[in-house]
Amino acid sequence: MDRQEIFIQGHRGCRALFPENSLSAFLHASKLGVDAIELDICVSADKQLIVAHEPIMLHDLCLKPNGEEILVSEENQLNLFKMKAEEIKSYSFGTLPHKKFPLQQKVKSHKLPLLELLGLLEKELGDNLPQLTIEIKSTTEGDGKYHPGPDAYTDLFLKTLDSIDPQWPIVVQSFDVRILKALDKKGIDVPLTVLNADKAVEVDAMLEELGFIPEGWGSLHDLIDQELVETCFTFGMDLSAWTVNDKQRADELFQLGVRNFITDTIEIW
């Protein structure tokens, strides 16, 4: 497979190599030449978008401000939606061994507001900015507990989006259909991707629920077959595969027609 034929997205930066959703991961992925960096956002108590995959401080990834470990029983009490951005930044991550990625570099990192993180990246990368693929983390069960409801959440996102340097190419993705519908209704002017990890979901049914055809369909790579590739082509949707960390599987997907890959380990490419 020719590297020029494919679009590579660094998943949470490049979490097989550096702590996920960290400045170091995004910088390293960018310097390795990825086409996009994929990141996740949650919401703080003072209504800032925080770059983080979970809305809590996970005990096996994070440490308290004084360096002490977090107990499993404490995780849910350390809810980002109930903490202000400055308090969130006082906790650290990236120095504990990662069970899934033993070769991950240990770099003390902090969960940063999206705008602050992008500002730091801009200083380092200059005009050579990759695409930002921003995943909005949201569930029906989490409304009011771990994040705002869809209307308030999308209002906050669009307000923040207005403050992002227009040099950044941006794609927004989410598993939450409500979020994508709200963004589409409010006239967002960046591409939207619907994410799916459920083999029971049919494309037609999902599009009917959305009420519009998004620019992209992001699928768990195990669910991708020739039929899905052809269906996405028929609807004019870009198909992205996640999370592809195996060269053999990448080659199989390429043969099926996949050209957009989200990966933890950039080095296999």
| pLDDT, tens only, 92-134 | 999 999 999 999 999 999 999 999 999 999 999 999 999 999 9
What is the C-alpha separation between 23 and 110, in angstroms, rounded?
8
Hey, where are the domains in the chain?
Answer: 3-56+98-268
Q: Report pLDDT digits (tens) over 32-88.
A: 999 999 999 999 999 999 999 999 999 999 999 999 999 999 999 999 999 999 999
Q: What is the CATH number of domain 3-56+98-268?
A: 3.20.20.190
Q: Quick check: 222 and 198 in contact, CB under 8 A? A: no
Q: Which residues contact 25 (CB under 8 A, 6 or more apart)?
A: 10, 12, 13, 14, 15, 17, 18, 19
Q: pLDDT higher for 34 or 3?
A: 34
The yes-or-no verdict on residue 267 having pLDDT over 80 is no
What is the C-alpha separation between 6 and 191, in angstroms, rounded?
19
- The pLDDT-based confidence of 2 (bands split at 50, 70, 90) is confident
What is the C-alpha separation between 106 and 95, in angstroms, rounded?
5
**Do the bridges between strand 216-220 and strand 92-93 make them parallel or antiparallel, or are there none, so unpaired?**
unpaired
What is the C-alpha separation between 107 and 219, in angstroms, rounded?
30
